A and B are shown apart, each in its own frame.
Chain A
Amino acid sequence: MNNKLQHFIDKEKATVFSQSSIFRPLSSNSDTFGSFLIATTENNNINCLQGILTPRFRNWFSTFSSHESKEELYVTALDNLLKKVDYLHLTMQLDQNLIDEDEFDRELEENEDKYLIKINQDFNSIDLKLIMSITNKLKNRKFSSDEISEIFSVDIDKIEDFIDNHKTHFLENETGSL
């Protein structure tokens, strides 16, 4: 087992527990990202290996993790844009007198989930960095903070704070992506 695992781990920062029942929960915050605990059974023994991933594999797993977060953001963006399209279709029907105001209000009230964009309060700076990296890929479009808020369900204050705190970084990367 150890021969196979030695490619993945930083040997100097690894601890091996043989026949041990020490299972310590590892937190998943960014400070300890790359920490791991592997348990295997071999010849009726339980082998536990705890340590820190080598930088190469830490980057590898970090990429997987950011792809997963980005997928969630893409799904949110798609959902919110569809809600916006549905809302604008409804508004257009009202403008063209195809429905009256009462029908418009009733439709909004009865099918609120179809139209209402809800703000998610759980965004952290890593999510906001991913959002900026997504929006930076659309070269011909500059997004205002209210557009980002609407598309990704982020609180507008958080976007402003994030932009303020990373202004130097954005100016340096204005033509590239994060």
Chain B
Amino acid sequence: MKQVHYNSSIECLSADVISRKIMPSSYMDVKLIGKCRTYKCSRNSEAKILKELAPKKAYCNLNSALDLDDRIEAEDLFLAINSSKSVKISLVNHSGRHKAQTFISEFYTFAKISKQFPNIAELRPQKTLLEPAEVKVISK
């Protein structure tokens, strides 16, 4: 299933991320996940689930997509990866004209749409982030 609206998110153990520009952002202690490396993907970005969470329960947002091959596509994405290792970003030919940057995360990954495509109408009301009540710990 593909999601394109603001605040749509995926959570998984491995994700395929592709974007025109992927920038490391910060090292953050994210609630319920732990220490994460965050990335910002801009200018046409997508993230697809390659490996589902086990057990398949959301840690960050109860509205997250969790199934294999679920994906989000947007102008900008925010990513938090629960890993002490940095990801290897590589350059690929994405379309006839444009190159893109890509990586595959191999740890818990939370990806969220922070800016949807301008040609897509906004949802009314917009999607919300729904925090799970239970506190969980993810082992690296």
Binding site for B on A (CB under 8 A): 80, 83-84, 87-88, 91, 94, 101, 104-105, 108-109, 115-119, 121, 144-146, 150, 155-157, 160-161, 164
Contacts and interface: CB of A to CB of B under 8 A. Distances in A.
Interface of B: 7, 24-31, 35, 38, 40, 76, 78, 84-86, 112, 114-115, 125-126, 128-129, 131
Q: Is the interface of A mostly helix, strand, loop or mixed?
A: helix
B85 A146 contact: no
Contacts of A164: 125-126, 128
B131 A88 contact: no
Given A117-B26, A157-B131, 5 more contacts: A105-B84, A144-B115, A146-B38, A146-B114, A150-B25
Contacts of A161: 128
Query: What is the interface of chain B mostly: helix, strand, loop, or mixed?
Result: strand
Contacts of B85: 101, 105
Would you list the 7 A-B pairs with minimal beta carbon distance, nearest first? A146-B78, A144-B114, A117-B28, A115-B27, A84-B26, A118-B29, A91-B24
Contacts of B30: 119
A93 B131 CA distance: 36
Contact of A144 (B24, B76, B84, B86): B76
B84 A108 contact: yes
B27 A116 contact: yes
Nearest to A142: B115
Contacts of A104: 86
A119 B28 CA distance: 8
